[in-house]
């Protein structure tokens, strides 16, 4: 199908983009890998398209104090091969390998993925897992939103009208932190039936700190705080026990990707594998140190 008519605006600065967005029915166009299918199906028919692909201020992956700042227009493929991310946050490349396919990763962006807020998508899960915050600009100024408050429901975020996501800021993980991401999808590149991300920092076999996030099992990616608390100070061999009931309080969806029952079975398995893999990587980091 074909999209409805719209006015096309191509700003080259953030200020111009914000000005162009000041309109009753304008939409930002980043990679277009979610928006254009929706326009082709006429699920959305914006009157004005603001193409931000030429706004240089939205690009770049740089160290910024104790954090890595990932520009909103960073493509999935750029993030997957970025040397700084490979060194500080290798879990990003591991997750990106699961996002769609080569040509879609070449176009799709982190900012678009966060704003599209698919509950199974990889970037939102990473944002929640890594305690990242989201830098937002509007005509009124700048603000920052913590990742765990940003995702409200499928396709619904804390972003207000007239706001643009500028970058994602990921705090530098403590030295020796191992990380892992894995998911189950029906076919390579499909949205995940369920996904898990974990970080673990070990001292010998004792877990100093563990983080666990799941995607595809609720309206938005989520952290499992009770499991994280139980693992702090525990032995790494206790991971399987700690996650055995991970699905108990969850009510995953039944949909075309997977049944709720299948998701309930996947959750403890993915959680255990992600945590054990992260723990293994933490112990490898301790050996090379």
Ligand X SMILES: Cc1cc2nc3c(=O)[nH]c(=O)nc-3n(C[C@H](O)[C@H](O)[C@H](O)COP(=O)(O)OP(=O)(O)OC[C@H]3O[C@@H](n4cnc5c(N)ncnc54)[C@H](O)[C@@H]3O)c2cc1C
Residues of this chain that interact with other proteins (CB under 8 A) are 1-8, 10, 29, 32-33, 36-37, 40-41, 49, 51, 53, 77, 100-104, 106-107, 187-189
Footprint of ligand X on 74-133 (CB under 6 A): 99-100, 104, 108-109, 111-113, 115-116, 118, 121-122
Contact by Cβ (8 Å): 1, 42: yes
Q: Which of 98, 53, 86, 89 is nearest to 71 (CA)?
A: 53
Q: Which is nearer to ligand X, 116 or 211 (CB)?
A: 116
- Which positions from 18 through 47 interact with ligand X, judged by CB under 6 A? 27-35, 37
Pick the closer one to other proteins by CB: 53 or 253.
53
Contact status, residue 4 vs residue 48, Cβ threshold 8 Å? no
Distance CA 1, CA 185 (A): 27
Q: How does DSSP classify residue 52? A: G
Strand residues in 72-216 grouped as ranges (E): 133-138, 141-146, 151-153, 156-157, 164-171, 177-184, 194-203, 206-215
Fill in the per-residue mask, 46 to 85: x = in contact with ligand X (CB under 6 A), - = not in contact.
--------------------------x-------------
- List the structure tokens of 216: 């595809």
Judged by beta carbon distances under 5 to 8 A according to partner kind, the member of ligand X, other proteins, none in contact with residue 40 is: other proteins
Question: Which parts of 205-264 interact with ligand X (CB under 6 A)?
Answer: none
Give the span between the Cα atoms of 99 and 96, in whole angstroms.
5
Which positions touch ligand X (CB under 6 A)?
A: 27-35, 37, 72, 99-100, 104, 108-109, 111-113, 115-116, 118, 121-122, 159, 164-165, 189, 191
């Amino acid at each position: 199908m074909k999209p409805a008519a719209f006015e096309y605006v191509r700003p080259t600065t953030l200020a111009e983009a914000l000005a162009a967005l000041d309109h009753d029915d304008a939409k930002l166009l980043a990679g277009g890998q979610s928006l254009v299918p929706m326009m082709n199906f006429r699920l959305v028919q914006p009157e004005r398209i603001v193409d931000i692909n030429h706004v240089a201020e939205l690009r770049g992956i740089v160290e910024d104090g104790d954090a890595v700042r990932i520009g909103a227009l960073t493509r999935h493929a750029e993030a997957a091969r970025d040397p700084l991310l490979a060194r500080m946050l290798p879990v990003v490349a591991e997750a990106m390998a699961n996002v769609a396919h080569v040509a879609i990763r070449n176009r799709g962006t982190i900012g678009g993925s966060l704003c599209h807020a698919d509950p199974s998508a990889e970037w939102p899960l990473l944002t929640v897992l890594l305690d990242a915050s989201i830098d937002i600009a509007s005509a009124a100024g700048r603000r920052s939103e913590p990742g765990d408050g940003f995702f409200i429901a499928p396709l619904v975020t804390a972003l207000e009208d007239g706001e643009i996501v500028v970058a994602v800021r990921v705090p530098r993980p403590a030295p020796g932190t191992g990380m892992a991401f894995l998911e189950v999808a029906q076919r390579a590149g499909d949205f995940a039936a369920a996904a898990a991300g974990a970080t673990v920092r070990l001292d010998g076999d004792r877990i100093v700190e563990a983080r666990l996030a799941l995607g595809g099992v609720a309206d938005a990616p989520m952290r499992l705080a009770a499991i994280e608390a139980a693992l702090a100070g525990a032995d790494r061999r206790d991971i399987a026990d700690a996650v055995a009931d991970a699905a108990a309080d969850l009510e995953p969806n039944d949909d075309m990707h997977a049944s709720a029952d299948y998701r309930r079975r996947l959750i403890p398995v993915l959680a255990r594998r992600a945590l054990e893999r992260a723990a293994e990587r933490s112990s490898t980091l301790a050996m090379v140190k």
